[in-house]
Amino acid sequence: MMPGGELFEIRKVAAGVYVAIAAPAYKVNSNTVIIETDDGLLIVDTHSKPSAARAIVKALKDLTPKPVRYVINTHFHWDHWQGNEVYPAAYPNVEVITNDITREAMVRKSLKRIRDHIRSVPLEIAKLRADLTAATDPDRRAEIQSHLRQAEAYLAELEGLRPALPTMAFENTMRIFNRDREIHLLHLGRAHTEGDVFVYLPKEKLVATGDCVIGWAPFMGDGYPEDWPRTLARLEQLDFTQMLMGHGEPAGKEWLRVFRGYIADLVEAVRREAAAGATLDAVKARVPDQLAPKYEQAFSKYGTYRPWRQLVLANIERTYATVG
């Protein structure tokens, strides 16, 4: 284990491959995968803000004098690419790579969402201030104060953000061959977003999954619940032993099966209820208890940080809207 500041814990997962696990935060950061090759580094995802990416760059400089040559963005979500600008500033020859679909989504959706965030975060801050005034419990007050500090710092960074879009985009597959390493960038179909990229190291039997597989219940707001299990079935065909996920601790294929099972069973349960004429409220009242025996414990590894009972309701809403 190496220091990654207070935002990350950096761990070695294979020779020359590291994962920076993001600490729980009010404004979530993605994990980063760091892959060393003979002539430079490849980084997967850049978090929600430049200061988080700068913490990684600082840790990299302690690790090796080699420059970052490639940054991969796994998808268009804010918490995976808003730190991009740090890399060309620190390493002038870096290429930022994703696939065509994700780059297009960044242009069409992310840039607008950044502007929306600049308008909505001040409302969030006002709400936190009101909550703080109303709170009396010292622990709760300390928690709100911490959230407030994080929200204010995030807003300041957003206002100064210079979004660095990918400089290269591929269609389905791109392979990077180095003397000592082979890195495959794969699009296996729609899942968490329309353009998810997996980063696969066949020799090391490692795969970075972005948010197609994470440690807790997925965010499905831009997802494709019916396609997702099929895409994960394709992922399962690859020969690997470890998944380095967008959020949460590294995991093996057992977790992929649980995670895929959850989405498949969720889709089936929601489809069955919707076909019988159930309203969204009725589905939200019934389906969590149907899924709980198989999934509640498995999806509660991170305690109250991302509680399954809350996330499953959002998952049901998205699924109901897409199958119903």
CB of 207 to Zn ion, least distance (A): 16
Site residues (vs Zn ion, CB under 5 A)? 77, 211
The structure tokens listed for 137 are 């419990």
Shortest CB 219 distance to Zn ion, Å: 6
Instruction: In angstroms, give the least distance from the CB of 30 to Zn ion.
Output: 8
CB of 77 to Zn ion, least distance (A): 3
β pairing state of 206-210 and 95-99: unpaired
Nearer to Zn ion, 69 or 77 (CB): 77
As measured in angstroms, the least distance from the Cβ of 192 to Zn ion is 6
Task: Tell me which residue has tokens 């990684």.
Answer: 56
8/78 with CB nearer Zn ion? 78
Q: Are 145 and 128 in contact (CB under 8 A)?
A: no
Instruction: Identify whether the C-beta of residue 99 lies closer than 8 Å to the C-beta of residue 197.
Output: yes
Beta carbon nearer to Zn ion, 218 or 288: 218
Residue 248 CB, nearest approach to Zn ion (Å): 13
Closer to Zn ion by Cβ: residue 91 or 154: 154
5 phi, psi to nearest 5 deg: 70, -165
Of the pair 204, 211, the CB lying nearest Zn ion is at 211
Distance CA 110, CA 116 (A): 10
Our CB check for Zn ion shows the closer of 70 and 219 to be: 219
Min CB(35)–Zn ion separation in Å:
20
What are the residues whose beta carbons fall under 8 Å from the beta carbon of 7, sequence distance 6 or more? 22, 23, 25, 29, 52, 55
**Closest to Zn ion by CB, 47 or 77:** 77
CB 158 within 8 A of CB 114: yes
The Cα–Cα gap between 118 and 111 comes to 11
| Nearest by Cα to 215 from 83, 21, 61 | 21
Q: What gap in Å lies between CA 235 and CA 314, rounded to an integer? A: 25
> Among 285, 227, 304, 300, which residue's Cα sits nearest to residue 260?
227
